[in-house]
Amino acid sequence: MVADQPHLILVDGSGYIFRAFHALPPMTRPDGVPVNAVFGFTGMLGNFLTRHAGSHIAVVFDHSRNTFRNTIYADYKAHRPEPPPELVPQFALIREATAAFGVACLELENFEADDLIAAYAKAFSAEGGKVTIVSSDKDLMQLVGPLVQLLDPIKQKPIREPEVFEKFGVTPDKVVEVQALAGDSTDNVPGVPGIGLKTAAQLIQEYGDLETLLASAEQIKQPKRRESLVNFAEQARISRRLVQLDADAPLPAPIDSLLARAPEPGRLSGFLRDQGFRSLQHRLGLDGDGATAPPTSAPRFAPPPAILMKAEPAATLDDAAPFGPYETVTDLATLERWVAEAQAAGTVAVDTETDSLDALHAKLVGVSLAIAPGRACYIPLAHGPKPGTGDMLEAAPEAPAQIPLREALSALQPMLEDPGTLKILHNAKYDLEVLGRPQAEGANSGIDVSPVDDTMLISYSMDAGRHGHGMDELSLRHLGHSPMTYDQVTGTGRARIPFAQVELEKATAYAAEDADVTLRLWRLLKPRLRTDGALATYEQVERRMIGVLKEMEEAGIRVDGVELARIGEDFSGRMTTLEQQIHELAGKPFNVGSPKQLGEILFDEMKLPGGKRGKAGAWGTDAAVLEDLSARGHALPKTVMHWRQLSKLKSTYVEGLAAQLDPRDGRVHTDFSMAITSTGRLSSTEPNLQNIPIRSEEGVRIRRAFVASPGHVLLAADYSQIELRLLAHLADVPSLREAFANDEDIHSRTASEIFKIEPGKVDREARRRAKTINFGIIYGMSAFGLAARLGIGAGEAKGIIDAYFAQYPGIRAEMERLKEEARINGFVLTPFGRKLWIDGIASKDMSRRGNAERAAINAPFQGGAAEIIKRAMVRMPKALRDAGLDAKMLLQVHDELLFEVPQGQLTATSQAVKEVMESVAELRVPLRAELGHGGNWAEAH
């Protein structure tokens, strides 16, 4: 960054004024003139000037309420109240204060301050100058660009393209298009009814701009949206003109006159004295008689580097380095130089390129390294020839020159395994699985990469629930840079080529950039872990989970494919029969798998009662609806439910699972995602082994197909009532604590207490109700929700909830505390300190906020439970090893761990597993794990 690059600071005066006025209690001068806004403004401006410097600076004001926008649209800002009378006399004094600092005041009749800001920003940046606009007004976000940024005066946070994107879902140049659609109630910009920020952003992303969208409005699929766009097209155009700032507004003062300069001697202190602002004189170092505070200590506006310039690029030149060009390493000597440089640096970002997203099958194609921002390389290892044109006369293309795989890996291995060189990866589990897999015939490497840091997990530890943690997203968000995408490199659809066929130049640009981005993210995010209070979560839990999950994924679980096929045949036959019955009952054949067709038959043709339409206008036919109809004595719904159950099990589990069976070992290997959920849980994909059926008899058959290896048994260990234990712990409920301490049935205890039934005389129905409400509580349930689940009236449900809270007042207090915590901080903390962000908690949309509040209530319980089992998993391998046991941990299903145990070690393993799981956290209630074992997963329960 060039230190003396021209830098214009434009302060949005109105923002300062209103903030000052509303933040401070009334204050008056001895002569009775109100001055609270003047005082606040002067303090804020003085404070800003002592901390920031630019080459040019001005404060921009609104001239009057009437502007050209009122002639476009009379209602523009019409609902804004007149400024309060106490504020009016302060406007002139505020301009005086600005001038006393030696700062220019800008205003112009008929234009808003925002237009002048736009005009000066345009003029200044056109000459290559940098512009900082001090304001948090979202209407100014349209001005953000390579040379123009906003600075939020409250949070002292720069607002650049990623922040704008976060707010509007589009890049700054498209902000007005979005605003034109979404409107703005605070400014009375009408927009298009029914279209909010989300929809607007989506439409603009799709169509590019308002006019293109309006031109294609007739083709919009959603009927309501289409109608709105057609009917309110003109209103949208007007809205666009209202929000579009006029960057061609005349400049009331030449740019040169905005040059930053020290205040005239005495003028500032004179002003402060006149207003009676003694504390400000002191704060600004102007209160001395010359003895302690000579004039030279007055604010200087020139040399001290702006906070903007040091806030992030304190690390400086480095982090401003361009993304590329990067080096392609194709000879051993060059590779050895890179390896030596990495070891000398002590930290290196590493990324692997492969031919598959599935780590257990992926073949290594290349490795990239980054040692400093902008300094990165790509080492191709298994690139083949470019795809030919298919012309038979063409000479066979040759593979590009590259270091032989074995030699390259031998050169890399010592560095990758060097305990003194930290390897930084994004989603390290993947790369570690690829590099760690020993393979015959040259492919992959058997390298045990250590130690590692993982930027995905660093981000997740701090920002779970706030946004995704993919590299591209983090890069745009934190670095303001969109890396090249995989699709751009390999193409998409039919034209897609394997990465190994991508030409080296392109592969290097992509692969080295990913390593570069990873390194830059690490430099930015790693220090934040400590300040954000997320260091322990990352170091003690997330980072240690990498190796644990790697082992589990590699182990996989044995599935009996023959049994699976038998189940499939059986289901098929039964489905055929059911389908015939359904068609007869319906009076005609139709596709039973189509909810749309089913809805039409049930509600349009058969005219059954109780139909409700979903958001797309189709009849709802889910299990709850069908159950209801069935209870009214209709045969069709029940038959459909049965068919659906078989259909689900067959397609998702019988066929889906069979397709995932690895023929090499007869096992299925899931991929645990570590950074997906907003609560700290894992998730499982390809296949999802966390939702294998168990609740129905047919489901149990599927689970029986998960079997132990010969000579082994499966051991399942479930945490008992873990979320309710956390409830008893967090809300500190004496009677629930006692119940757990005595190993009582918690739902019976609850039933006895809220329904006032003698202990021991609780019947099944009372227990069922208590169980429903116990779970409902940790989901933030309402009376309505409870009524629906229990099939009782809302009044009765409310009575039960009232009785519950009367019995357990600590629980209600805890629910309120969690909502409050989320509202104030934007996040809640689990009992172990994991930070979980609650999206939408500040939303003005009642429904959205309601959802967020329930999520805030649930998050500490779900997240706390996730934390407990993760900690147990992290401790498990060593505990087993120390006990001389060979059991393998195979799966985690949120509150359950599944192990494969050599038959002779069952007792000892059970003991060790139980001990680890129950001792991993000290709560106000004991933790309990329940164990079972058998030849298959169903039996182990």
Partner DNA sequence: TACATCACG
Partner DNA sequence: GACGTACGTGATGTAC
Of positions 155, 607, 664, 695, contacts DNA by CB under 7 A: 695
Per-residue binder mask for DNA (CB under 7 A), 554-593, x = binder: -------------------------------------x-x
Comparing CB distances to DNA, the nearer of 173 and 655 is 655
Is 399 near DNA (CB under 7 A)? no
Sole binder of DNA in the list 6, 599, 860, 864 (CB under 7 A): 599
Six token digits for residue 801: 């909830």
Of 626, 714, 726, 921, which one interacts with DNA (CB under 7 A)? 626
* Residue 656 interacts with DNA (CB under 7 A): yes or no: yes
Helix/strand/coil for 367: strand
Rounded to the nearest whole angstrom, what is the least distance from the CB of residue 660 to DNA in the complex? 8
Among 526, 638, 894, 914, binds DNA (CB under 7 A): 894
Please tell me whether residue 896 binds DNA under the rule CB under 7 A: yes
Using CB under 7 A as the binding rule, whether residue 693 contacts DNA is answered as: yes
CA distance 41 to 286: 17
CB 421 within 8 A of CB 415: yes
User: Can you spell out the DSSP letters for 571-614?
Assistant: HHHHHHHHHHHHHHHHTS---TT-HHHHHIIIIIIS--S---B-
Residue 726 touching DNA (CB under 7 A): no
688 binds DNA (CB under 7 A): yes
Binding segment (CB under 7 A) for DNA, from list 166-174, 523-531, 594-602, 824-832: 594-602
Rounded to the nearest whole angstrom, what is the least distance from the CB of residue 650 to DNA in the complex? Answer: 8
* φ, ψ at 139 (rounded to 5°): -65, -20
Task: Using alpha carbons, select from 553, 563, 568 the residue that is nearest to residue 685.
Answer: 553
Task: Decide whether 395 or 616 has the Cβ nearer to DNA.
Answer: 616
Nearer to DNA, 59 or 781 (CB): 781
As a whole number of angstroms, the distance between CA 405 and CA 902 comes to 38
895 is an interface residue for DNA by CB under 7 A: yes
Identify which range of 265-273, 364-372, 449-457, 769-777 contacts DNA by CB under 7 A.
Answer: 769-777
Task: Fill in the amino acid letter for 709.
Answer: S
Q: Is 615 in the site for DNA (CB under 7 A)?
A: yes
Strands 327-328 and 667-668: unpaired
User: 146, 346, 614, 793: which one contacts DNA (CB under 7 A)?
Assistant: 614
d(CA 701, CA 715): 18
Binding window for DNA (CB under 7 A); candidates: 129-137, 153-161, 249-257, 771-779: 771-779
Contact call for residues 787 and 780 (beta carbons, < 8 A)? no
Among 212, 334, 347, 652, binds DNA (CB under 7 A): 652
For the CB of residue 856, give the shortest distance to DNA in the complex, in Å: 9
Which span (244-252, 503-511, 529-537, 641-649) binds DNA, by CB under 7 A?
641-649
Of the candidate spans 405-413, 438-446, 552-560, 654-662, the one that interacts with DNA by CB under 7 A turns out to be 654-662
Tell me the C-alpha distance between 813 and 671, whole Å.
39
> To the nearest whole angstrom, how small is the minimum distance from the Cβ of residue 899 to DNA?
16
* Helix, strand, coil fractions of the chain, as percent rounded to 5: 50, 10, 35
Cα separation, 373 vs 384, in Å, equals: 29
Tell me which amino acid residue 57 is.
Answer: I
Q: How far apart are CA 17 and CA 15, in angstroms?
A: 5
- Residue 732 burial class via C-beta count within 10 angstroms: exposed 0-12, middle 13-18, buried 19 and up: middle
Q: Is 623 in the site for DNA (CB under 7 A)?
A: yes
**Window of 455-463, 549-557, 670-678, 908-916 that interacts with DNA by CB under 7 A:** 670-678
* Least distance to DNA, CB of residue 174, Å: 18
What binding mask, one character per residue, do residues 824-853 give for DNA by CB under 7 A, x or -?
Answer: ----------------------xx--xx--
Give start and end residues of each alpha helix (H) in 127-266. 161-168, 175-182, 197-207, 210-215, 223-231, 233-243
Cα dihedral 145, 148, 150, 156, rounded to 10, equals 120
Q: Does 606 bind DNA (CB under 7 A)?
A: no
Is residue 169 a contact point for DNA (CB under 7 A)?
A: no
What residues from 776 to 815 belong to the interface with DNA (CB under 7 A)?
A: 776-777, 779-782, 784-786, 788-789
- Using CB under 7 A, which residues numbered 185 to 224 contact DNA? 221
Q: Which is nearer to DNA, 369 or 646 (CB)?
A: 646
**Which listed range, 116-124, 376-384, 677-685, 917-925, lies at the site for DNA (CB under 7 A)?**
677-685
From candidates 247, 259, 321, 676, binder to DNA by CB under 7 A: 676
764 touches DNA by CB under 7 A? no
Candidates 297, 696, 843, 911; binder of DNA (CB under 7 A) is: 696
Residue with smaller CB distance to DNA, 458 or 640: 640
Q: Please give the structure tokens belonging to residue 222.
A: 């959603």
Residue 558 to residue 713: CA distance in whole angstroms:
11
Dihedral-angle region of residue 309 (phi above 0 means left; psi in -120 to 50 means alpha; beta otherwise): alpha
DSSP for 689-720, please give it. Answer: -SS---SSHHHHHHHHTEEPPTTEEEEEEEES
What SS3 state is found at 66? coil
CB-based burial of residue 253 (10 Å sphere; 0-12 exposed, 13-18 middle, 19+ buried)?
middle
**Among the listed residues 19, 167, 481, 596, the single contact to DNA using CB under 7 A:** 596
Beta carbon nearer to DNA, 449 or 668: 668
Report how far residue 456's alpha carbon sits from residue 658's, in angstroms, rounded to the nearest whole number. Answer: 31
Query: Based on CB atoms, which residue is closest to DNA, 155 or 844?
Result: 844
Task: For residue 738, give the H/E element and its range.
Answer: helix 734-741
Which one of residues 47, 70, 581, 597 is an interface residue with DNA (CB under 7 A)?
Answer: 597
| Selected binder of DNA within 136, 142, 537, 684 (CB under 7 A) | 684
Give CA 13 to chain center in angstroms: 34
The binder of DNA chosen from 435, 649, 815, 828 (CB under 7 A): 649
Per this entry, what is the length of the chain? 941
**Smallest separation, CB 692 to DNA (Å):** 6
The rounded distance, in Å, linking the Cα atoms of 250 and 116 is 8
Nearer to DNA, 271 or 832 (CB): 832
Tell me the CA distances in angstroms from 262 to 11, 293, 296, 305, 306, one per residue in order.
17, 16, 10, 15, 16
Residue 686 token pair = 């390809």
- Contacts with DNA by CB under 7 A: the residue count is 75
| Least distance from DNA to the Cβ atom of residue 640, Å | 8
**Stretch in the footprint of DNA (CB under 7 A) among 150-158, 483-491, 524-532, 890-898:** 890-898
Looking at 199, 275, 354, 645, which residue binds DNA (CB under 7 A)? 645
Is 503 or 655 the residue whose CB approaches DNA more closely? 655
- Cβ proximity to DNA, 369 vs 787, nearer residue: 787
Among residues 467, 897, 890, 479, which one has the least CA distance to residue 676? Answer: 467
Q: How far is the CB of 368 from DNA (least distance, A)?
A: 27
Contact set for DNA, span 355-394 (CB under 7 A): none
Nearer CB in complex with DNA: 225/528:
225
Residue 858 binds DNA (CB under 7 A): yes
Report residue 378: phi and psi, to 5°: -125, 135
Give the C-alpha distances (Å, rounded to integers) separating 788 from 94, 219, 293, 851: 60, 39, 73, 17
Q: Answer yes or no whether residue 772 interacts with DNA by CB under 7 A.
A: yes
Phi and psi angles of residue 634, each rounded to the nearest 5 degrees, phi first: -90, 140
- Contacts to DNA from residues 913-932, by CB under 7 A: none
